[in-house]
C-alpha cells in the first residue's frame, strides 16, 4: 500500500483549492480607503475530538489536521484531540456538563443521545450552502436518511463508509492446498476450512483456522442473525422492543458460541492472548480467517504474509453485511459552527482522494472510492467486498438510552456468552428482560 501522502505533496496538488469556496470567505478584508491590507486576524481555533484507532489511523488523522491547518493558516486551526475509546465519551459528556463543549466530534451511536438532549447542531443549513455534498452522482445521499433524525434535517455529515469483511491468510490456504474464500462462501465453507487449517500440539493450538474477531461485538454478531432471518431490535431508530429471544437471534448466538466451546474451531479471548500476546492472532500469522471491519485494512499492510479479503459468508443462500457511516457532528453551543463545519465539509470533499490513498477508510465520495489509487495496493477481493454494501444494513441502533443498552445489557451478557458461563437462550432472555425494561421506562 502507499505510504501516507506527504504534506508537501498534498499542498502542491491542492494549491488551487486555497482560494475557493468557503475558504475564500474567511479572507481578511482590505483596509478602508485603499491603504493596504488589513491586519491579519487570528485563526479561529476549532476544538475537535476523535477516538484513538491505533497508530496508523491516528497518524492519518493527525496528518489530516496538519494539512487542513496549513491550507487555512491564519484563518482556521483544528485542535484535534485523540482519546482512547473508554475515555472519549466521558470526556465529551463532561464538556457538555461544564458548558464548555467541543465544537465538533466524530459520530458514534452515543451521539444520538446528545441529539435527543438537544445538544447537536442542525447541519442542514450548512449542507444547503454546499450543494456539492448532495450530488447524487458522487454521494450515496439516499442512505443519509438514517441521519435525518427529525425526518428532515441532517445532524451529522458522513465522510466515509465502513463494512465488515472476511479477512484470510492467502499463504496459509495455499500451503494447505485449499481454495481461498470468495463471494460464494457460506458459513458451512468457513467451518470446514477452519477445521482443516487448525494445527496444534496435543490440546494446545498453535494455529487457528478462524478468529471470530468483530463477531464478538453485538453489531458484528447481528450480521449472522440477519442472514438467519432475525433482528435484535424491532427497528434501528427509536426501537420499542429488544427481541434477542427470537429464534434466529438465539440460533446465531449459539452457532458462534459452539464454534468457540463445542467445535473448538475458534479461540477464546484467553487462547488468543496466550498465542499472540498484545496483538491479534491473524496479524501474528496464526489464524487463517478473521471477521473484521474495513477499518482494519491499513493495520495489516506491513504483515509478513500475503492476505486478502472476501465478503462475509452467507448463511445457506443469504448474506446481510453491516455498514456504517463515519462522520462529524457539531455541538449546538459552539461559538464557531460555520468555521467548524468547514473542516467537516473539506473532509467529505477535497480530502477524499487523500483518504483513498491512506486506505484506512472507504471514502464517501464515489470518484475517490472508485479511483485507481483507492485500489492500488489493496487486496484482490476489495472490489467485490465493497460491492456488498448495496445489500448491507446499517449496523447501529439509535436511541437516547443506546449507551445504557450497550453497557448494561449487551456487553455484559455477551461477555458471559463468549466465556461459556451462560447459554445463548439464557443470554437472550436476560438481554430482553433488562433491555425492554430500559426501553419501556424511557418511552
Q: What is the pLDDT of residues 105-127, one digit of tens each?
A: 999 999 999 999 999 999 999 99
Confidence band (pLDDT; 50, 70, 90) for 166? very high
| Confidence band, pLDDT 50/70/90 cuts, at residue 242 | very high
Q: What is the pLDDT of residue 51?
A: 96
Say if residue 102's pLDDT is above 70. Answer: yes
Cα–Cα distance, 220 to 212 (Å, whole number): 9
What's the average model confidence in pLDDT over 22-47? Answer: 54
Question: In the predicted model, is pLDDT for residue 395 greater than 90?
Answer: yes
- Give me the pLDDT at residue 298, please: 80
pLDDT at residue 389 in the model: 86
Distance in angstroms (rounded) separating the CA atoms of residues 69 and 343: 10
Judged against a pLDDT cut of 60, whether residue 29 lies above it is answered with no
Name the residue with higher pLDDT: 299 or 174. 174
Q: Per-residue confidence at 25, pLDDT binned at 50, 70, 90? A: very low
| Predicted pLDDT at 24 | 35
Overall pTM surpassing 0.85 (yes/no)? no
* CA–CA distance, 342 with 74 (Å, rounded to integer): 15
20 has pLDDT over 50: no
As a whole-number percent, the residues of the chain with pLDDT over 90 amount to 81
Residue range 68-90, pLDDT digits in tens: 999 999 999 999 999 999 899 99
Give the residue-averaged pLDDT of 190-206: 94
Residue with cell 441529539: 115
Calculate mean pLDDT across residues 2-23.
33
Residues comprising the chain, all counted: 443
Which domains, ranges and CATH numbers included, belong to the chain?
A: 43-159+325-379 (3.40.190.10), 163-323+395-441 (3.40.190.10)
- The predicted pLDDT at position 143 comes to 87
User: What's the average model confidence in pLDDT over 211-224?
Assistant: 97
Closest CA to 20 of 350, 292, 244: 350
- Poorest-pLDDT segment among 293-302, 411-420, 426-435: 293-302
CA distance 98 to 293: 35
Banded model confidence at residue 283, pLDDT cuts 50, 70, 90: very high
Mean pLDDT is lowest, of 9-23, 108-122, 301-315, 404-418, for 9-23
Query: What is the average per-residue pLDDT within 280-309?
Result: 93
Say what the pLDDT of residue 54 is: 84
Q: Quote the CA–CA distance of 264 and 420 in Å, as a whole number.
A: 12
The grid cell for 327 is: 462522520
Write out pLDDT tens, residues 117-154.
Answer: 999 999 999 999 999 999 999 999 988 988 999 999 99
Could you write out the DSSP letters of every residue in 18-86?
TTSHHHHHTSPPBPGGG-SBPPPPPPEEEEEEEE---HHHHHHHHHHHHHHHHHTTTTEEEEEEEE-HH
Q: Which residue has 456487553 as its cell numbers?
A: 411
Q: At what angle do helices 55-71 and 337-348 cross, to 10 degrees?
A: 120
Burial code (b: 16+ CB inside 10 Å, e: under 16) for 300-316 equals beeeeeebbbbbbbbbe
In whole numbers, what is the pLDDT of the chain averaged over residues?
Answer: 90
Q: Would you list the DSSP string of 139-171?
A: S-GGGGGGG-TTSS--SSEEEEEEEEEEEEEHH
* Segment 323-361, tens digit of pLDDT: 999 999 999 999 999 999 999 999 999 999 999 998 878
> Grid coordinates standing for 202?
496435543
d(CA 400, CA 102): 20
Contact by Cβ (8 Å): 257, 359: no
What is the rounded distance in angstroms from the CA atom of residue 173 to the CA atom of residue 328?
A: 40
Q: Which of 50, 45, 48 is nearest to 82 (CA)?
A: 50
Interatomic CA distance for residues 342 and 221, integer angstroms:
36
Q: What is the CA radius of gyration of the chain?
A: 23
pLDDT value at residue 41: 65
Cα–Cα nearest to 352, from 64, 128, 22, 141? 64
- Rounded to whole angstroms, how far apart are CA atoms 249 and 219? 12
Amino acid at each position: 500500500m502507499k505510504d501516507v501522502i506527504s504534506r508537501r505533496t498534498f499542498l502542491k496538488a491542492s494549491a488551487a483549492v486555497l482560494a475557493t469556496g468557503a475558504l475564500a470567505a474567511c479572507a481578511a478584508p482590505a483596509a478602508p480607503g485603499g491603504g493596504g491590507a488589513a491586519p491579519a486576524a487570528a485563526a479561529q481555533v476549532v476544538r475537535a475530538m476523535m477516538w484513538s484507532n491505533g497508530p496508523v489511523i491516528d497518524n492519518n488523522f493527525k496528518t489530516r489536521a496538519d494539512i487542513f491547518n496549513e491550507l487555512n493558516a491564519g484563518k482556521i486551526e483544528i485542535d484535534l484531540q485523540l482519546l482512547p475509546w473508554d475515555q472519549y465519551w466521558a470526556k465529551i459528556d463532561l464538556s457538555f456538563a461544564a458548558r464548555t463543549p467541543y465544537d465538533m466530534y466524530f459520530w458514534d451511536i452515543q451521539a444520538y443521545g446528545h441529539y435527543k438532549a438537544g445538544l447537536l447542531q442542525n447541519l442542514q443549513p450548512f449542507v444547503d450552502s454546499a450543494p456539492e455534498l448532495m450530488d447524487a452522482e458522487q454521494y450515496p445521499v439516499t442512505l443519509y436518511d438514517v441521519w435525518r433524525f427529525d425526518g428532515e434535517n441532517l445532524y451529522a455529515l458522513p465522510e466515509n463508509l465502513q463494512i465488515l469483511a472476511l479477512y484470510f491468510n492467502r499463504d496459509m490456504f495455499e500451503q494447505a492446498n485449499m481454495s481461498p474464500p470468495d463471494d460464494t462462501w457460506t458459513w458451512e465453507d468457513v467451518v470446514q476450512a477452519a477445521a482443516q487449517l487448525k494445527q496444534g500440539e496435543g490440546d494446545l493450538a498453535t494455529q487457528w483456522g478462524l478468529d471470530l474477531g468483530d463477531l464478538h461485538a453485538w453489531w458484528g454478531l447481528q450480521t449472522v442473525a440477519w442472514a438467519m432471518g432475525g433482528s435484535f431490535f424491532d427497528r434501528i431508530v427509536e426501537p420499542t422492543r429488544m427481541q434477542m429471544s427470537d429464534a434466529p437471534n438465539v440460533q446465531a448466538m449459539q452457532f458462534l458460541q459452539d464454534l468457540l466451546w463445542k467445535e473448538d474451531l475458534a479461540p477464546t479471548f484467553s487462547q488468543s492472548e496466550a498465542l499472540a500476546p498484545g496483538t491479534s492472532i491473524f496479524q501474528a500469522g496464526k489464524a487463517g480467517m478473521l471477521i473484521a471491519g474495513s477499518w482494519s485494512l491499513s493495520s495489516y499492510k506491513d504483515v509478513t504474509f500475503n492476505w486478502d479479503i472476501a465478503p462475509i459468508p452467507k448463511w445457506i443462500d443469504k448474506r446481510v453485511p453491516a455498514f456504517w457511516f463515519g462522520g462529524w457532528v457539531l455541538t449546538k453551543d459552539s461559538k464557531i459552527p460555520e468555521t467548524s463545519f468547514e473542516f467537516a465539509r473539506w473532509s467529505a470533499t477535497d480530502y477524499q482522494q487523500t483518504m483513498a490513498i491512506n486506505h484506512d477508510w472507504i471514502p464517501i465520495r464515489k470518484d475517490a472510492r472508485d479511483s485507481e489509487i483507492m485500489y492500488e495496493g489493496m487486496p484482490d477481493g476489495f472490489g467485490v467486498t465493497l460491492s456488498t454494501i448495496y445489500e448491507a444494513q446499517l449496523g447501529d441502533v439509535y436511541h437516547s438510552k443506546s449507551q445504557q443498552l450497550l453497557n448494561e445489557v449487551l456487553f455484559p451478557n455477551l461477555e458471559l456468552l463468549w466465556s461459556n458461563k451462560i447459554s445463548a437462550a439464557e443470554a437472550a432472555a436476560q438481554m430482553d428482560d433488562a433491555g425492554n425494561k430500559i426501553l419501556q421506562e424511557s418511552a
